[in-house]
Amino acid sequence: MDCIFCKIAAGEIPSTKVFENDKILAFNDVNPQAPVHILVIPKEHIASADGINADNAHLVSEIFKNIPQIAAQAGLENGYRIITNIGNDGCQSVKHMHFHVLGGKKLAEKMC
Ligand code: 5GP
Ligand code: ZN
């Protein structure tokens, strides 16, 4: 499968990793939209959050279990935003589920 985030997870494409364990990886977004812009992904390919099911939901739990630590390490003590885009209307450009962790400034009040 030609998936850029699978390749990043496999180490075939370089990334600036900020957290990694056997199930998930967090790395800096190459085109940051805030002072801190981290992407958190499962290493296993899931196309989007619309593909979460009983078999893979533990990976979502693993991601959210570790986000507080990832955010603290990035200095996001004043808060942050977690976003996941899904499909065309959600403007998802990379079809491997990822959670954007955005912060480091007061973010826009509007979400869309
Ligand atoms: P989406 O639009 O799918 O929600 O978000 C995809 C994100 O992946 C974008 O913010 C984009 O900047 C980021 N991105 C795309 N390709 C790469 C890459 O090769 N490396 C990194 N670190 N980020 C990427
Ligand atoms: Zn993938």
Residue pLDDT, tens place only, 41-83: 999 999 999 999 999 999 999 999 999 999 999 999 999 999 9
Question: Model pTM greater than 0.85?
Answer: yes
Evaluated on CA atoms 95, 58, 24, 30, the torsion sign reads positive
Among 8, 19, 93, 100, which residue has the most ligand 1 atoms within 8 Å of its CB, making it the best to mutate?
A: 93
How close is the Cα of 80 to the center of ligand 1, in Å? 18
Give the model's pLDDT for residue 1.
76
Verify whether ligand 1 is closer than 6 Å to residue 14 (CB atom).
Answer: no
